[in-house]
Amino acid sequence: MKKITSIVALAMSMTAADTVNAQLTSKAHPQNPYTLVYEGAIVKNEKGKVNIHPVSYQLNGITIAANVYTPADYQAEKKYPAIVVAHPNGGVKEQTAGLYAQRLAESGYITIAADAAYQGASGGQPRHIDKPANRIEDIRGMADFITRYAGVDANRLGVLGICGGGGYTLKAAQSDKRFKAVATLSMFNSGEVRRNGFQNSQLATIQERLKQATDARAQEAAGGEVIYAGTGSPTAAEVAKIPTDLYREGYEYYYKTHAHPNSTFKYTISSLLDLMTFDAATNMDLINQPLLMMAGSKADSYYMTEEAFKKAINAKNKELFLIEGATHIQTYWKAEYVSQAVNKLVTFYQTNL
């Protein structure tokens, strides 16, 4: 377990510079005018096809950068159901969140994917604050914006959260009943993992890490330098030794095949004061909306989806859907698994919106 702890920590310690370098060297995705890095991404807006609309809006004094996707033959005077898509931890709207937003738009939904406050192309200082309350508010902010977008039927609003965005989606939906249908993909309980370690591998160091977060907060309050986690630079050989699919394949996804210069796992150490006292799976009984939770059948993160799903005792028409053969990261990009997930989502939203 100790070995897993150290290697997992190593896997998460990528730098923004690594991301930029990977973007420059990756051949999997040619330069996209919207900087989208997923297969089949929109390269230009055309009549009769799904279109993308970069937008920005204010959320609690912070400028949020987002992409809105409109269906083929979109007409502002008509009414469409809409879906809010929340990105994974360390991710940005141009990666898997954008892929799912585009695919859902292809099925007739107006969708929005936004960068979290303090992250990606969104504003907020200091950079890379990663607090659960902010991420939950980001999801509510997307709902604020998209329900006022031309053509959106505010009474038919759904939400999809991916990875860490899935955990925050569960929390947002517990109280925000504008979301009439709630779905997660490869849900990652950020608080549980930051507190206990992935697969409970860091239980012995909880108090030590809380002390580090406390000291970092005190240093910031005194006007000192902001301290960050995720500032190392592991070699390819070190990454290859990572025993968990989530982090090993995550490195390949975020820093090679689907790299984006705004995507980084860097976050302020002081954020752990909030992260380590958060748990996405608490108060799941407050979700009374229809609930769909999806995960790869081979995902080593599946235990988090299972834990939360069992606690959703009041959710309507709840379903746990396994994507056969997929690992956590493969649900982000691999065509056969993405298609399974999208088909399930479309059926779910059509039934419940």
- Identify the CA nearest to 352 among candidates 179, 186, 207: 179
What integer pLDDT is reported at residue 46 of this predicted model? 97
What integer pLDDT is reported at residue 40 of this predicted model? 97
For 208-215, the CB contacts below 8 A with 24+ separation are: 209/272, 209/276, 210/272, 210/273, 210/276, 212/269, 212/272, 213/269, 213/270, 213/271, 213/272, 213/273, 213/276, 214/273
Instruction: Tell me the pLDDT tens digit for each residue of 30-53.
Output: 689 999 999 999 999 999 999 999
Taken in order of first residue, the domains within the chain and their CATH numbers are 32-189+280-352 (3.40.50.1820)
Q: How far apart are CA 226 and CA 126, in angstroms?
A: 8
Cβ atoms 353, 316 nearer than 8 A: no
Tokens of 15: 């730098």
Q: How far apart are CA 322 and CA 244, in angstroms?
A: 19
Tokens of 326: 């997929």
Q: In whole angstroms, how large is the CA radius of gyration of the chain?
A: 19
What integer pLDDT is reported at residue 30 of this predicted model? 63
Q: Residue 122 gets which letter from DSSP?
A: S
- Identify the CA nearest to 11 among candidates 229, 223, 273, 192: 229
Q: Give the three-state DSSP class for 237.
A: helix
What integer pLDDT is reported at residue 5 of this predicted model? 39
Q: Residue 88 gets which letter from DSSP?
A: P
Instruction: Tell me the pLDDT tens digit for each residue of 240-264.
Output: 888 999 999 998 999 889 999 999 8
Tokens of 211: 């002390």
Quick one: which H or E segment has residue 228?
strand 228-229
The residues, any chain, with a CB within 8 Å of residue 84's CB and separated by 6 or more, are: 111, 112, 139, 142, 143, 146, 157, 158, 159, 160, 179
Tokens of 303: 């235990």
**Residue 71 CB-half CA count within 13 A:** 20
- Identify the CA nearest to 192 among candidates 89, 68, 317, 318: 89
Cβ atoms 238, 251 nearer than 8 A: no
What integer pLDDT is reported at residue 236 of this predicted model? 83
What integer pLDDT is reported at residue 241 of this predicted model? 87
Low-confidence ranges of the chain (pLDDT < 50): 1-28
Q: How far apart are CA 11 and CA 4, in angstroms?
A: 10
Predicted model pTM: 0.92
What integer pLDDT is reported at residue 240 of this predicted model? 86
What integer pLDDT is reported at residue 238 of this predicted model? 83
